[in-house]
Amino acid sequence: MAQGLYSKTVSIAAATDTALIAAPTTTNFAGKPERIYVLYLRYGVGTAWTGGRIRFEDGAGGSVIMRGATATVDVDVERYFATMRKDYPGYALTEGNALNVNTAGTPGALEVTVIYEIK
């Protein structure tokens, strides 16, 4: 994956445990493995899930970055990880890890947006 700033929006309508953003497999200009920096995460509940929840993880089964409930319709939850400070460019995932999303419960409809940077 080329270095740069990206945005991705996906719809989720089934319980899943999958990579939302695939792990980078190349090295940067300094010869170090590229990594994902999460700048912004948002999820919106279009149709409520029964007993539902969502988790964003640093790799499959990794540290939970953000979690929430999906049982209430018309809920929008967003979180900014970047600041205007140059020394904090966002939430840095572990080198070689994907941004994983894990949902559970009786399916409804979710929309997930992530803004991220590869460097």
> pLDDT over 90 for what percent of the chain?
48
Evaluate whether 1 touches 8 at the Cβ level (below 8 Å): no
Whole-Å CA distances, 50 to 12, 54, 107? 14, 12, 7
* pLDDT tens, residue by residue, 17-68: 999 999 988 887 777 888 999 999 999 998 888 888 999 999 988 999 999 9
Q: What is the token pair recorded at 45?
A: 């509940």
pLDDT band at 108; cut points 50, 70, 90: confident
Q: pTM for this structure?
A: 0.88
* pLDDT tens, residue by residue, 57-69: 999 889 999 999 8
Domains of the chain by range and CATH? 4-118 (2.60.120)
What HEC string does 21-77 produce? Answer: ECCCCCECCCCCECCEEEEEEEEEEEECCEEEEEEEEECCCCCEEEEEECCCCCCEE
